[in-house]
A and B are shown apart, each in its own frame.
Chain A
């Protein structure tokens, strides 16, 4: 019972961390601040994956999102601003209509999710998933796996081509 209570406290801590830092990402004036708040959002999502028993996905989230995408976004911030421009403000516009639309969307989504009777087969036990995922990727999902590898290759070459300086 005590253990259960502790689990709930930790869960709500990470839930608040995720949603709160996502709010900072969206509402912060400074670009650097929203980039660093995004770090905490990704971290919180990885913690939620741990709660959901997805250990491999949690590690993947940390490595790819925090180590890759976030660094890429920070590079984007740094390369598109003058470095001595310390405040790096980001303007906002049409805030009021967006708030109304987003509140409507959130209300509809959460009420429909809370009032639906999901008939799942109950929780799956928390077992290590890496071996199962590897087997599935190599057996049942081999075609999407190869397609994803080709997509990554194309994205790599395409990104390099787009930012290349034209020599003329």
Chain B
């Protein structure tokens, strides 16, 4: 029988993989992909708890707001990356160290 814990473990795995992507990638676009994985794992948790709490649908509403914020974050993040690429000619996060003292 598929229970709540199945979804929670899937979401924990997605979250860990997202953290892994954010920590190990040098390419800024790849880091954004890791952040999307993390947001998706949070969404799975919200919807799973919404399902297993007897018809309380608020979790799905929260998931919708998370999706909205993910869309806004992707747009602004991509804009920052494009503008960074125009200035320093790279999206490698190691080489964008202008602010470093």
Q: Which of B65, B74, B85 contacts A80 (CB 8 A)?
A: B85
Contact, CB under 8 Å: B91 / A38? no
Given the known interface contacts A18-B10, A54-B47, A114-B5, the answer about A72 and B74 at a Cβ–Cβ threshold of 8 Å is: yes
* Closest Cβ neighbor of B12 among chain A residues: A109
Contact of A102 with B76 in the complex, beta carbons under 8 Å: no
For chain B, give the interface size range: 35 or more
B23 → chain A, closest Cβ, in Å? Answer: 4
- Which A residue's beta carbon lies closest to that of B67? A64
State whether A98 touches B60 (Cβ < 8 A): no
- Find B7's partner among A22, A52, A95, A162 (CB 8 Å cutoff): A52
CB atoms of A159 and B79 under 8 A apart: yes
* Bound CA span A77–B13, Å: 25
| Cβ B26 vs Cβ A93 within 8 A | yes
Interface residue ranges of A43-86 to B (CB < 8 Å): 45, 48-49, 51-54, 56-57, 60-61, 64-65, 68-69, 72-73, 75-77, 79-80
Task: State which of B53, B61, B70 has its C-beta within 8 Å of the C-beta of A69.
Answer: B70
Contacts A77-B29, A120-B4: A162 and B68 contacting too (C-beta < 8 A)? no
Q: How far is the CA of A105 from the CA of B49 in the complex (A)?
A: 21
Given A52-B51, A93-B94, A113-B5, decide whether A73 and B74 contact each other with a Cβ distance below 8 A.
yes
Interface residues of B in 43-101 (CB under 8 A from A): 43-44, 47-58, 60-61, 63-65, 67-76, 78-83, 85, 91-92, 94
CB distance A80 to B40 under 8 Å? no
Interfacial residues, chain B to chain A (CB-CB below 8 A): 1-2, 4-10, 12-21, 23-30, 32-34, 36-37, 40, 43-44, 47-58, 60-61, 63-65, 67-76, 78-83, 85, 91-92, 94
- Point out residues on A near B: beta carbons under 8 Å: 4, 7-8, 11, 15, 18-19, 22-23, 25-26, 31, 34-35, 38, 41-42, 45, 48-49, 51-54, 56-57, 60-61, 64-65, 68-69, 72-73, 75-77, 79-80, 90-95, 98-99, 101-103, 105-106, 109-110, 113-114, 118, 120-125, 129, 132-133, 136-137, 141, 144, 148, 151-152, 154-156, 158-160, 162-163
